[in-house]
Structure 1
Amino acid sequence: MTSALSKKILVTGAAGFIGFHVAKRLLEEGHTVVGVDNLNSYYSVQLKKDRLKQLESFEFFQFYCLDVADHQAMEKMWQQEKPITHVVHLAAQAGVRYSLIDPYPYVHSNVTGFMVMLEQCRYQENFEHLVYASTSSVYGLNPSLPFKESDPVEHPISLYAATKRANELMAQSYYHLYRYPITGLRLFTVYGPWGRPDMSLFKFTKAILAGETIDVYNHGQMSRDYTYISDIVDGILAALWRPASVEPREHPLYNLGNDQKQSLMTFIEALEEALGRKANKNFLPLQPGDIVETSSDIQKAKVELGYCPKVDIHQGIAEFVEWYKTHTIYLK
């Protein structure tokens, strides 16, 4: 039974990596969750369905297989599920490199889908907060490290990043015009159990266990602010429950990272340690759209959200490997 303080929360992208973990945490805390996902085939649909299976074991979870860019379907769902007081918008077409191959889904899902969400929230009575996911990729070729929310972000180097920067600008216009609470979160390289098979941790693990060679871009001269999924969920929920204000001129934006960047080679070494095997490496040039280095300044999130990442790269990768060994079916 839900508590008197429980809320009804819409989580878009609920069958996705981050959306699944956010929805699960909310359900465990006693809230009602409405999940939306179109279950597209960008990666294993079975993986998405198996995430959903876990969510559907909760009494207060309702799932809709919908495209967030379909404004009529989304409006009908919202009418059926009133009153939704909070939204965590995570539905998006992900992947920097895939945006160079097929750009159209990025505009459809990330731009049109976000437009639909902004419009739906605008018209809801007693609506409390929209939290949406942006990305560290918006910093593009910014030479100043670590990245701060106040840094210029007008030079994205991939279409994926451009669509996420568009989200931030769209959110700002709605925040200014309609004065309802909106918060954006720039997420830094999220990893962990139930993650996406197209990401390096999955691909490296599969290849190393199979004795195959892994591709190491920019000859290993890259670094990332790898952030474990439980830390990201902590930050998202801290933002969601923060008393939202519409008084300031700009809607809040926060970096959610680990605050400890690691080189790609350190990342690979931690994976080798967890697997007990060495990787055969194929060193390659930097790929188009890739950022050489990301590093998050999370001071703002620490002060205003109480955000404090706890999981280091060795613990996080070890926990992923433990999960992976019983879930290799998703990479066949």
Structure 2
Amino acid sequence: MKILVTGAAGFIGAHTTLRLLRDGHEVVGLDNFNSYYDPQLKLDRVRWIESQGYRFPLRRLDLCDATGLQRLFAAVRPQVVIHLAAQAGVRYSLENPQAYLQSNLAGFLNVLEACRRQPPEHLVYASSSSVYGANQRVPYGVRDNTDHPLSLYAASKKANELMAHSYSHLYAIPCTGLRFFTVYGPWGRPDMSPVLFAQAICRGEPLKLFNHGQHQRDFTYIDDIVESLLRLLDQPPRGNPQWDRLQPDPASSMAPWRLFNIGGQRPVALKDYVSLLERLLGRKAQLELLPLQQGDVLDTCADASDLAQVTGFSPRVELAEGMRRFIDWYQSYYQPEIARARA
């Protein structure tokens, strides 16, 4: 298939792009290479894809450029759109809320408008486990209430789900939203805990554990995210014939729209997660225990049974193995002298 991937130089985007190319799809990428974190990491992800023997057209374009996006869609005429570009980060949304308004709301609207004018067979877009917000019923099911987000980032992702539904209903665009749970692995974002924690441990700096380390997180290895996503690509929703207006199913619709959780389904306490990092790095962490931070949810755990039912696949990489792979990459990228010594 001809597939347009937004955020193709991002963490999930780069892994998804490489897998699509390996599977023989024609991929066109889009990324704005913004400065939320060092753009060099994005450039290096693209070089990593190329080092595997694959090249693909990658357009530098911001989602807020509605005209440029329309032109790209008209030129590419994608069969499938995988929308992964977004302003990420819960805590950054407390500092710079306008970035989320522009990228996650106005930008997503531009994607939907481009899909309206150049309809794909399937629009797959990234949502987040953050949408569950104040809900403390675990595991989180796609039919649980998500009306109480705890951060603007979470609210923007919830809004994306609603915006996609309206366009799916109005213009019959098949839309699948994916609620990702704490994705980690090689080439991960530097603002996420694997890189932040590994850096603090390696440098002997204080490692900040909010909520005194009592959080639990449902870590999901990047390969499991990509496998789940790809298994859904050729299964666009067609509308649920059993959908009842009097008892509406929040995860499906009379429109061709649906939601899935993608999570490891094995939550881990942050203190145990830190202990695993200590063993892999061979160093002790200097812990700084802090109160719960604004915007954070307490615990996350995915109920991914709908994903398993539709695709026959459930995330399977155990945290110990996934973190071993992450640390191998981390040391090769950030500490090449250690990686060379081990080799």
TM-score (norm 2): 0.91
Equivalent residue number for residue 114 of structure 2: 120
8 Å Cα contact 1:175-1:246 kept in structure 2: no
Structure 2 residue aligned with 1:4: none
Is 1:262 aligned with 2:274?
no
1:325 and 1:206 map into 2 onto residues whose CA distance is 10
Kindly provide the CA deviation profile for residues 19-57 of structure 1, in whole angstroms up to 9, marking residues without a partner as x.
000001000111111100000011111100111123346
Name the residue aligned to 1:252.
Answer: 258
Q: 1:229 aligns with which of 204, 222, 242?
A: 222
> Deviation of residue 212 (structure 1)?
1.5
Match in the other structure for 1:304? 310
When residues 325 and 166 of structure 1 are mapped into structure 2, their CA distance, relative to the original with a 3 A threshold, is same
Matched, 1:29 2:23: yes
Across the aligned residues of Structure 1 and Structure 2, the Cα RMSD in angstroms comes to: 1.5
Query: Which runs of 5 or more residues in structure 1 are unaligned?
Result: 1-6
Post-superposition offset of 1:307? 2.4
8 Å contact 1:225–1:260 — kept in the other structure? Answer: yes
**Is the Cα–Cα contact under 8 Å of residues 33 and 60 in structure 1 kept in the other structure?**
no
Are the counterparts in 2 of residues 15 and 48 from structure 1 also a CA contact under 8 Å? yes
Length, aligned pairs only: 322
Distance 1:44 1:60, change over 3 A: closer
CA change 1:278–1:60 in 2 (3 A) is closer
Partners of 2:133 and 2:236 lie apart in 1 by: 31
Q: Distance in 2 between matches of 1:303 and 1:77?
A: 35
Return the match for 2:69 from 65, 69, 74: 74
1:132 corresponds in structure 2 to 125
**Residue 315 of structure 1: which of 299, 305, 321 is its match?**
321
Match of 1:65 in 2: 60
Rounded to whole Å, the distance in 2 between the matches of 1:298 and 1:194 is 25
Change (3 A) 1:59 1:202: closer
The aligned amino acid for 1:190 is: V
- Scaled by the length of structure 1, what TM-score is found? 0.94
Report the equivalent of 2:289: 283
Q: Is the 8 A contact 2:206 2:288 kept in 1?
A: yes
Unpaired stretches in structure 2, ≥5 consecutive residues:
241-252, 337-343
Distance 1:91 1:177 in 2: 24
Matched residue, 2:244:
none
1:10/1:87 contact within 8 Å kept: yes
3-state SS of paired residue (2:157): helix
Q: 1:274, 1:321 within 8 Å by CA — same for their partners in 2?
A: yes
CA distances 1:87-136 after superposition (whole Å, capped 9, x unpaired)? 100000000000000111111000111111111111225x2100000000
Identity percentage over the alignment?
50
Partners of 1:96 and 1:307 in 2: how far apart? 29
